[in-house]
Structure 1
Amino acid sequence: MTHPARVGVGVAAGVLTAAGGLAFLLAAAVAGAASAVVPPARRRIGALIPRYATTLVRLERRRLGELLGASELPPVRTAGWRDVAYLAARLLPGALGALAFGLLGIGAVLAWILVSATVRGDLSLAEILLQVVIGAVLLLLNVQAIASVGALDVRIARRLLDRDARAALEDRVRELASTRAGVIAAVDAERRRIERDLHDGLQQRLVALGMLLGRARRSRDAERTYALVTQAHEDLQRAVEELREVAWRVYPSALEESDLGEVLGMVAQRSTVPVRIRCDLPVRPDRQIETVLYFVACEALTNAAKHAAATLVTIDIGVREGTVRMRVRDDGAGGAAPSGPGLSGLARRVAALDGRLRVESPAGGPTTVLTELPCG
């Protein structure tokens, strides 16, 4: 907390700098009007006004940081018309500060008159006490007014000068809007993918299963009926496996009971490519983080098996500096496209959790998919 005396000195200095700012603004207005008459000078004057305004703003920042406790304001990097606007806005706390110190000066004169009258014996004891009480109340109000002017000065500076925080907030809003739209697009793409898998795979398999059972029911040959039922049983098992795969694309329910390393171990057992997993997580991360990492690993494993002709996939998961890092690397042919529907959808999911997904897949391999997610 800033000492009241420093606040008073800061407000007093602000009155002087506001007077300088007013003189500058008047000079800038005259120069701007002159440049309208002399067009060749318009560009030069238009560049000089923000530059000199920024010089005055640097002085204001020093005053605000050293006397009013606003040391968190970022330094000036470039000149701009926002500095001119700030100097104009500063006229209000400057005028209020001048008024507060003017009233304080009037109060000091009245106090001197009261002391002189008391020394001469012109006032009774009751009148002296009454004047002292009134003077003390007015002094407290004046001190509070000076403190309020200082607070207003700092508030205006933070509002108009803290470009970095404002720009960061605007960037964050745009980023959240973008990632939200990306997540919606990724979810829609995943729904279309699931619908296609159900239609092209599971639905056709069930139709074929119904035809097999129909043929078995109409058959009069016991051996043929047995063969058809056996084939139908095998197709039913494959349909159950496909249904389980589709369900796991929606949400890996095994994460309810097992951690990420164990669930990826189950995936590795069903993989046609050998998988080596190292999961070193001292504390289990949030479920949404595990889910995203699971989907990234499954997509990378699927790409390695179908497109890269890999013979080994390694999955390495750990924590470093508050970030969960998962690296999936295969020894396949490479050439994976980060802009493809699978990886791009996963990149949007990762971005929705303030994470980052990077794919390195040169021609000839290897392919590395690195995922980083903040885990607090």
Structure 2
Amino acid sequence: MADTAWEALRGKPLRFFASLWPLRTLTYVLSGAVIGALCLVWIPVALVLGAVVAAPALTRPLAALERRRVALLGGPPLPDPHRRPDRPGLIAWLRFRYREAVTWRELAYLGLHATVLLALDVAAVVILAAPILALGSVNLTASRTATDPAAGVSSDGLDVVVGVLVAVLAGLALLVVGFLAIYAVPLAAIAHAKVARLLLAPGPGETVRMLTRSRARLVDAFEVERRRIERDLHDGAQQRLLSLGMMLVGAQLEFDDRPEAARALINQAAEEAKTALAELRELIRGIHPHVLTDLGLPAAVAELADRASVPVTVALDLPRRLPSTVESTAYFVVAEALSNAAKHATATQISVTGGLTSAHLGIEVRDDGVGGADPGGGTGLAGLADRVDAHGGTLTLSSPPGGPTVLRLELPCA
């Protein structure tokens, strides 16, 4: 299966038209025409209401919608290249936004969307509909002529033959034009999405800054994790081993004079050793589970589902092993999502679905909980988003109040 509409159209056109790609491109073009008309109306209103100064704030939702809409043609939504202002307040926010190049690229794109791209979308729809309307007009004219002798058809047989021949040739011409017209919508959609990716996606400098910030946050997160592991070892396994050593020393001292007491201490030491081993295994599993290394992502996610306190259905279609970094990132995203759904969402059912295309791994975790999840509320998703971002992927969360909560992960795995 091709990753994008352009790859599918360029590869095997007949298979392209037998798939869902034509419907997705038509949806993209039709929705683009609607949003283009909205831009045509809203941009002047935004300029007037915002007195030009607040126009970026009023037009930014449309740009955010366009970044998500390109996913209709394959691939993940475009990441938001906007940075967070250094200072609070509306004035500081506006000043910061006006200094960003992406702000002006967004305004340029919305201006194109309201004019050139709107005309492109409308033209593609008209070209697609023209052969159908023309064929209907020809059929309507022919039916009227057949039922109405006064419509101008001569009784002469030669005129009838010529009329039939002209009708057949017109029908063939319409079929050829119609076959060519079906390419209009996919090509218009691909061209529109190309412009959107060119203007709305992060530029090279912005990508470097985003990766730098993500990696800086990852370094901080790894430092926190290192300290947690050190604390767990010090407070858990180390104390267990110290207690084990003291029990063995006591058993050694009691062995000659009080064998029964020594035997009791040895039994306690054996139990302490089992407990310490279990803690070490749990700690290692939190760092990197063995099942993920040995059997891969589907088996590791299935183990997570078995240990979950909420019923979880898993449907992962992965025909081959993925790079270890991809598997590890996807595993911890799913683990965090399952943990959040059980602890915070009061969910009763969770589903984990996903699949692999030639270049991307896509996973969706959906629960029927109460919704209202906030990535900045300490759920651990912000750190996972940085980890995903550092690998060039995207992590999107949809959690309206009342649910459902849907977490989508896209990771490049080429």
Q: TM-score, normalised by structure 2?
A: 0.44
